[in-house]
Amino acid sequence: MRVAILASGNGTNFEVLAKHFQSGDIPGELALLFCNHPDAPVMKRAQRLDVPAESFTVKSCGGKQEYEEKLLAVLQKYQIDFIALAGYLRVIGPTILRQYDHRIVNLHPAWLPEYPGLHSIERAFADHRSETGVTVHYIDAGLDSGPIIAQRRVPILATDTVETLENRVHETEHHLYPEALAQVLAKEQD
């Protein structure tokens, strides 16, 4: 399985996954990082980890449809079989969904179906919840609504700030995502 990771920002989850691919803990080959922000720190991480990387913006393509068509062409050029989203802050549209049906997974920093979309950690904290979580799920046409693969709870402590909660959520992501992705890709290869 040739896997692409799509990311938009800092790339800590990308780096965790890349190291698990390189060590053989996740089956398959990490063949591509795609980032929709050419100057994002994840691009430097990919370079340091020797992972091929491509980047362009919606604006540079002239619109969402053209962007998706160009991204699909990049995925096909690299012969990508499976996609993992790691902080990719764009909704995947029908052009890519059709080609990769049930072959795109996402990591979301909440216990779905609670807090889909952006700012999930901040919203859970502001609601004074006792816990939140992390979810790995397949992508469908809805917003964070695809079938759930794995979840793990993260307590919200009385002493937490948004920053300390965010750190614990990210730590949980760094453990859950490689485990879940390894299981999914092992099944895909059977």
Distance CA 13, CA 111 (A): 18
Is 133 labeled as ligand-binding? no
Q: Is 175 a catalytic residue?
A: no
Helices and strands: H and E segment counts in the chain: 7, 7
70 is in an annotated binding site: no
Residue 13 known to bind ligand: yes
- In order of 90, 125, 152, 172, the CA distances from 84 in angstroms are 13, 27, 18, 17
77 is in an annotated binding site: no
- Dist. CA 152–CA 173, nearest whole Å: 9
Q: How far apart are CA 26 and CA 188, in angstroms?
A: 12
Catalytic residue among 20, 37, 102, 108: 108
Q: Any known ligand binding at 9? A: no
Residue list for the binding site: 11-13, 64, 106
- Please list the active-site residues: 108
Residue list for the binding site for (6R)-10-formyltetrahydrofolate: 64, 106
